[in-house]
């Protein structure tokens, strides 16, 4: 250690030295604040059939998203290539830069998933990677972090999606049955009117309904 004393050089201010009283030095300039990272938004747009339009979703996503993936495919199809690409890009960015805020942005929840099981699976993936979810429209619009309080919102969103999906299914099944009941009722009414025309009234000629 004594050998290091000869080679060790410590810069000493000019106003400091042995036997001099201590006096405060000039204030030290604060280090510049680190630049705040802007969140990276990955957009996803989807419609079920070729007759539906995607442009309104793309117009809403374009001002806020760095990149947008879109496709025309039903949520009943388990594999959606463009959604997989959007998720992979978001997960890769988060993995390479853990401090970077990455958000998967959709116009509304049903564009992402309509099944509670699927949405909860997606929520689990988001919790593992730290990717957030953003809804631009709807009563629950906002940004949801899957960690902490965001997990509760994911559960609420999943329940809402399942309720809406069940309602769509019931309306789809109820529609043909209702139409059949209307047709059946109309047919019975016409049959009853026809029979009334053929039944003679005592003392009178049969009445014809035109």
User: In residues, how long is the chain?
Assistant: 210
At residue 52, the pLDDT reads 84
> Of the candidates 33, 115, 104, 39, which has an alpha carbon nearest to the alpha carbon of residue 74?
115
Gap between the Cα atoms of 16 and 25, Å rounded: 10
Residue 203 has pLDDT above 70, yes or no: no
Instruction: Give per-residue pLDDT as tens, 155-167.
Output: 676 666 667 667 6
Work out the average pLDDT over 124-135.
86
Instruction: Give per-residue pLDDT as tens, 45-104.
Output: 999 877 788 999 999 999 999 899 999 988 778 889 999 999 999 999 999 999 899 999
Answer whether 103's CB lies under 8 Å from 40's CB. yes
At residue 169, the pLDDT reads 60
Gap between the Cα atoms of 136 and 62, Å rounded: 12
- Kindly report whether the global pTM for this prediction surpasses the value 0.75: no
Burial tier of 17 (Cβ tally within 10 Å: 0-12, 13-18, 19+): exposed
Give the residue extent of every domain in the chain.
Answer: 40-165
- Of the candidate CATH numbers 3.40.50.1390, 2.40.50.90, 3.30.2320.50, 3.50.50.100, the domain formed by 40-165 belongs to 3.40.50.1390
Work out the average pLDDT over 18-24.
77
Tokens of 118: 């699927």
Q: What angle do CA 84, 168, 182 make, to 5 degrees?
A: 150
Instruction: Give per-residue pLDDT as tens, 39-58.
Output: 999 999 999 877 788 999 99
Helix, strand, coil shares, percent, the chain, to 5: 45, 10, 40
């Amino acid at each position: 250690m004594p050998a290091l004393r000869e080679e060790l050089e410590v810069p000493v201010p000019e106003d400091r030295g042995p036997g001099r009283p201590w006096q405060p030095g000039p204030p030290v300039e604060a280090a510049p604040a680190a630049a705040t990272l802007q969140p990276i938004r990955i957009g996803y747009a989807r419609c079920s059939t070729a007759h539906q339009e995607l442009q309104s979703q793309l117009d809403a996503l374009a001002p806020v998203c760095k990149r947008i993936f879109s496709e025309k495919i039903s949520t009943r199809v388990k594999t959606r290539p463009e959604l997989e690409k959007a998720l992979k890009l978001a997960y890769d960015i988060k993995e390479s830069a853990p401090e970077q805020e990455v958000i998967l942005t959709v116009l509304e929840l049903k564009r992402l998933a309509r099944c509670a099981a699927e949405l909860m699976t997606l929520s689990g993936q988001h919790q593992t990677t730290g990717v957030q979810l953003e809804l631009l429209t709807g009563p629950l619009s906002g940004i949801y972090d899957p960690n902490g309080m965001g997990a509760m919102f994911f559960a609420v969103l999943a329940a809402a999606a399942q309720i809406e999906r069940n309602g769509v299914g019931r309306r789809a099944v109820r529609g043909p049955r209702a139409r059949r009941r209307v047709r059946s009722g109309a047919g019975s009414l016409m049959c009853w009117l026809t029979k009334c025309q053929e039944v003679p009234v005592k003392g009178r000629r049969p009445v014809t309904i035109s």
